[in-house]
C-alpha cells in the first residue's frame, strides 16, 4: 500500500501547479475512460523507485459554503488525521501571511512529518525571499518553483526518506478484503454494523497496516472477510451531528487495500456526482466493485423502480459497467447478507488467472473477426498475449505499434476477453507493449512462445 502525502495551503500559493509538477513524473497506468474524466486531485508518484500517492486536498470540497479560512483549517485537520506526510505550500512571492502563521501553529503540534514548500522561488537569485520564512522557526523548509521545477528534486529526495515503509500483514492475505466507501450519510456505518452485528458473526478487530486503522474480521459460511478500516467509519457513526465531510484520503486508503469495494449510495437522494466520483476512484484503483443502493426501505416503488435506478447507474458510471448492483437496506437488513455472495463472485474473477493458451485463442479469434484499422497505411500486428498479474487480471499483449491501438479497439478486445474467459464482473487491464517478430495473430496459427520455438527447431 502506498503512503499518502497531502498538499495543503491557502488559495493561489501554487498547490495545483505543484501537484501537477510532481505527479507528472509518473507513468499513467489508467486510461481515460469517457465519463471518468474530471479534475484529478490525486496521483501516484514514483521517485527513485519509491512510490507514494500525492493528494491535493484543495479542490475537492466543492459547494462548500463555509468561508475560506474555515475551509482550509478543515482541509488541514483532515490531512493531519488521514495522511502520512503533510506538505504545506507557501507563497514565496507574496511572503508570510497571518493566515500562514496560523496554519503553521497548527502543524507544529503534529507528530507526522510536515514539509514546508516555499513556492515561487524561481531560481537561486530569489532565495533571499526565504528570510521571512526562516523567521518562522520551522524545520524542513524548501525553496521551490513548481512552475520551473527549481528545488523540486531536492524536495522529493528528502520527502521519500520521510515516508513510512509499507508493512505487510501476511495473516490477512487469504481473506477477501472489503472496503465500504461512499459519500457522507450514505449509510456506511449502518451497513458495517449490520454486516458485523447480524447473525452473531465472529468479529475480531485487528490493527490495519496504517496507524489508527482498525480492520474487522468476520467469519461467515466458512469464509473469512476483512472489512477494511472500520474504526473510522464506526466511530463516525456515533457522532451525533453529521458534520463529517468526504475524505478523499480515507477513501483512497481503503481502496488501495481492498479486493472489492462496496460502493454505498443513498437511493433516497438518488445517484449524485460525488457517488460517481467515488466510483471513479475505485475504477482507477482497479478494485473489484459492487454498487449498493441503500435505504431501499424508504423508496416508493413500483415494478420498474429498481430497473430505472440500475439504468441510471449504468449510464452515469459506464466505466464500471462490470460492477454488479443491488438494492439494500442497512436499516432493515434487506438483502444485506447477500452482499457476501456478491463479493465472492466478484473476488473469484478478480483473483483469477487464465491460461496463455486460452487467452491467445480468444484474442486470435477476436482479431480475425474484426481487424484493427490501419496505422499510417500499415497493418497493425498483434503478436501474443499473456496474463502478468491478477487482482485485477492484467494482460500484456505485444503489438507492432502499441500507441496506435485505438481506444475503441482496445475496448473491443477487453470485451472479448471478458466474454471468452467469463470475466464479466471484474475490472481488467490490457496493456500493449511493443514487439516485432513474425508470429502474428491471424496470419499463422502460432501464437505462443512454445509453438514458436518448435517451429524454429524444424
Ligand atoms: N512565479 C511563479 N508562479 C507560480 C509558481 N507556481 C504557481 N505559480 C502561479 O501562482 C498562481 C496560482 O497557482 P495555482 O497552482 O493555481 O495555485 P493553487 O494554490 O492551486 O490555487 P487554488 O486553486 O486557488 O487553491 C498561478 O498564476 C501560477 O501560475 C511558481 O513556481 N513560480
Ligand atoms: N431509512 C433508512 N435509513 C438509513 C439506512 N441506512 C442508514 N440510514 C440512516 O442514514 C443516516 C446516515 O447513516 P450512517 O450509517 O451514519 O451513514 P455514513 O455513510 O456512515 O455517514 P458518514 O459517517 O457521514 O460518512 C442515519 O440516520 C441512518 O440511520 C437505510 O437502509 N434506510
Structural domains in the chain, CATH included, are 4-162 (3.40.50.300), 170-350 (3.40.50.300), 356-457 (3.30.300.20)
Ligand 1 atom closest to residue 56's alpha carbon, by position in its atom list: 20
Q: Is 297 in the pocket of ligand 2 (CB under 6 A)?
A: yes
CA distances from 291 to 86, 246, 248, 278 (A): 32, 18, 18, 11
More confident residue, 458 or 211: 211
Mean pLDDT of 155-174: 72
Pairwise pLDDT comparison (67 vs 123), residue with the higher score: 123
Confidence check: pLDDT of 327 > 60: yes
Mean pLDDT value of segment 280-289: 93
Q: How many CB atoms lie within 10 A of CB 145?
A: 22
Please report which ligand is nearest the Cα atom of 293. 2
Q: Candidates 6, 11, 12, 97: which one to mutate for ligand 1, based on the most atoms within 8 Å of Cβ?
A: 12
> What is the atom index within ligand 1 of the atom nearest the CA of 20?
15
Residue 375 confidence (pLDDT) above 80: yes
Shortest-distance Cα residue to atom 30 of ligand 2: 295
Indicate whether 172 pLDDT > 60: no
- 267 versus 12: the higher-pLDDT residue is 267
The bound ligand whose nearest atom lies closest to the alpha carbon of 59 is 1
Q: Lowest-confidence range among 221-235, 267-281, 298-312, 415-429?
A: 221-235
Question: Sorting pLDDT into bands at 50, 70 and 90, what band is 315?
Answer: very high
- List the binding residues: 9-16, 56-60, 119-122, 182-189, 229-233, 294-297
Mean pLDDT of the chain: 82
Q: Which atom of ligand 1 is nearest to the CA of 150?
A: 31
Contact between 152 and 22 (Cβ < 8 Å): yes
* Cα–chain center distance at 53: 10
User: By mean pLDDT, which of 164-168, 355-359, 402-406 is the weakest?
Assistant: 164-168
The ligand 2 atom at the shortest distance from the C-alpha of residue 190 is: 15
| Residue 251, all three cell numbers | 477513501
Q: Is 90 in the pocket of ligand 1 (CB under 6 A)?
A: no
More confident of the two residues 143 and 62: 143
pLDDT of 448 higher than 60: no
58 lines ligand 1 (CB under 6 A): yes
CB contact at 8 A, 407 and 432: no
Q: How far is the centre of ligand 1, averaged over its atoms, from the C-alpha of 110 (Å)?
A: 26
Task: Answer for the pair 44, 51: CB distance below 8 angstroms, yes or no.
Answer: yes
- Of the two residues 229 and 49, the one the predictor is more confident about is 49
Distance 147 CA to ligand 1 centre (A): 8
Ligand nearest, relative to CA of residue 8: 1
Q: What is the pLDDT of residue 200?
A: 43
Residue having the nearest C-alpha atom to atom 22 of ligand 1 = 11
pLDDT at 447 over 50: no
Per-residue pLDDT at 178: 95
Predicted confidence (pLDDT) at residue 437 exceeds the cutoff of 80? no
Residue 239 Cα to ligand 2 middle (Å): 12
Percent of the chain surpassing pLDDT 90: 45
**pLDDT, tens digit (0-9, with 9 covering 90-100), for 85-144:** 999 999 999 999 888 898 899 899 888 999 999 999 998 889 888 888 988 888 889 999
Q: Mean pLDDT check: name the lowest of 13-27, 162-176, 436-450.
A: 436-450
Q: Is the pLDDT of residue 193 over 90?
A: no
pLDDT at 213 over 50: yes
**Three-class DSSP labels, the chain:** CCCEEEEECCCCCCHHHHHHHHHCCCCCCCCCCCCCCCCCCEEEEEECCEEEEEEECCCCCCCCCCCHHHHHHHHHHHHHHHCCEEEEEEECCCCCCHHHHHHHHHHHCCCCCEEEEEECCCCHHHHHHHHHHHCCCCCCEEECCCCCCCCHHHHHHHHHHHCCCCCCCHHHCCCEEEEEEECCCCCHHHHHHHHHHHHHCEEEEEECCCCCCEEEEEEECCEEEEECCHHHHHHHHCCCCCCCCCCHHHHHHHHHHCCEEEEEEECCCCCCHHHHHHHHHHHHCCCEEEEEEECHHHCCCCCCHHHHHHHHHHHHCHHHCCCCEEECCCCCCCCCCHHHHHHHHHHHHHCCCCCHHHHHHHHHHHHHHCCCCCECCECCCEEEEEEEECCCCEEEEEECCHHHCCHHHHHHHHHHHHHHCCCCCCCCEEEEEECCCCCCCCCCCCCCHHHHHHHHHC
63 backbone φψ class: left, alpha, beta (φ>0; ψ -120 to 50): left
Q: Which ligand is nearest to the CA of 146?
A: 1
Buried b or exposed e, range 83-93, using 16+ CB within 10 angstroms? bbbbbbbbbbe
| pLDDT classification of 211: cutoffs 50, 70, 90 | low
Query: By the 8 A CB rule, do 439 and 446 touch?
Result: yes
Q: Is 193 in the pocket of ligand 2 (CB under 6 A)?
A: no
**Is the pLDDT assigned to residue 440 strictly greater than 90?**
no
Determine the pLDDT at residue 443: 56
Task: Name the binding residues for GTP.
Answer: 9-16, 56-60, 119-122, 182-189, 229-233, 294-297
Q: Please give the grid coordinates belonging to residue 447.
A: 501464437
Amino acid at each position: 500500500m502506498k503512503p499518502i502525502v497531502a498538499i495543503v495551503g491557502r488559495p493561489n500559493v501554487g498547490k495545483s501547479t505543484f501537484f501537477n509538477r510532481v505527479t507528472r513524473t509518473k507513468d499513467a497506468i489508467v486510461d481515460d475512460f469517457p465519463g471518468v474524466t474530471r479534475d484529478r486531485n490525486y496521483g501516484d508518484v514514483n521517485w527513485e523507485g519509491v512510490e507514494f500517492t500525492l493528494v491535493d486536498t484543495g479542490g475537492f470540497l466543492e459547494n462548500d459554503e463555509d468561508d475560506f479560512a474555515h475551509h482550509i483549517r478543515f482541509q488541514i485537520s483532515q490531512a493531519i488525521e488521514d495522511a502520512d506526510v503533510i506538505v504545506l505550500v507557501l507563497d514565496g512571492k507574496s511572503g508570510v501571511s497571518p493566515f500562514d502563521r496560523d496554519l503553521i501553529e497548527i502543524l507544529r503540534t503534529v507528530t507526522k512529518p510536515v514539509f514546508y514548500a516555499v513556492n515561487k522561488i524561481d531560481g537561486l537569485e530569489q532565495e533571499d525571499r526565504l528570510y521571512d520564512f526562516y523567521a518562522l522557526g520551522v524545520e524542513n523548509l524548501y525553496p521551490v518553483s513548481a512552475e520551473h521545477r527549481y528545488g523540486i528534486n531536492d524536495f522529493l529526495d528528502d520527502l521519500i526518506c520521510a515516508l513510512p515503509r509499507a508493512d505487510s500483514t501476511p495473516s490477512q492475505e487469504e481473506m477477501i478484503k472489503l472496503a465500504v466507501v461512499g459519500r457522507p450519510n450514505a449509510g456506511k456505518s449502518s451497513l458495517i454494523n449490520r454486516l458485523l452485528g447480524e447473525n452473531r458473526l465472529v468479529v475480531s478487530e485487528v490493527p490495519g497496516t496504517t496507524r489508527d486503522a482498525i480492520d474487522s474480521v468476520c467469519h461467515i459460511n466458512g469464509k473469512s472477510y476483512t472489512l477494511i478500516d472500520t474504526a473510522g467509519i464506526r466511530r463516525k457513526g456515533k457522532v451525533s451531528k453529521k458534520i463529517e465531510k468526504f475524505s478523499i484520503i480515507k477513501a483512497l486508503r481503503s481502496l488501495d487495500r481492498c479486493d472489492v469495494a462496496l460502493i454505498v449510495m443513498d437511493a433516497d437522494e438518488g445517484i449524485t456526482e460525488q457517488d460517481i466520483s467515488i466510483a471513479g476512484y475505485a475504477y482507477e484503483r482497479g478494485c473489484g466493485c459492487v454498487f449498493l443502493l441503500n435505504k431501499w426501505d424508504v423508496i416508493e416503488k413500483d415494478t420498474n423502480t429498481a430497473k430505472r435506478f440500475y439504468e441510471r447507474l449504468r449510464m452515469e458510471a459506464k466505466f464500471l459497467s462490470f460492477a454488479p448492483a443491488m438494492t439494500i437496506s442497512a436499516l432493515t437488513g434487506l438483502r444485506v447478507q447477500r452482499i457476501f455472495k456478491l463479493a465472492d463472485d466478484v473476488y473469484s474473477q478478480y483473483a483469477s488467472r487464465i491460461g496463455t493458451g486460452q487467452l491467445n485463442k480468444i484474442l486470435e479469434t477476436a482479431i480475425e473477426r474484426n481487424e484493427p484499422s490501419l496505422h499510417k497505411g500499415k497493418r497493425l500486428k498483434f503478436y501474443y498475449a499473456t496474463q502478468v498479474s491478477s487482482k485485477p487480471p492484467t494482460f500484456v499483449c505485444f503489438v507492432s505499434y502499441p500507441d496506435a491501438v485505438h481506444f475503441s479497439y482496445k475496448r473491443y478486445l477487453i470485451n472479448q476477453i471478458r466474454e471468452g474467459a467469463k470475466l464479466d464482473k471484474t475490472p481488467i487491464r490490457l496493456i500493449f507493449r511493443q514487439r516485432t517478430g513474425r508470429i502474428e495473430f491471424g496470419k499463422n496459427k502460432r501464437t505462443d512462445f512454445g509453438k514458436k520455438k518448435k517451429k524454429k527447431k524444424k
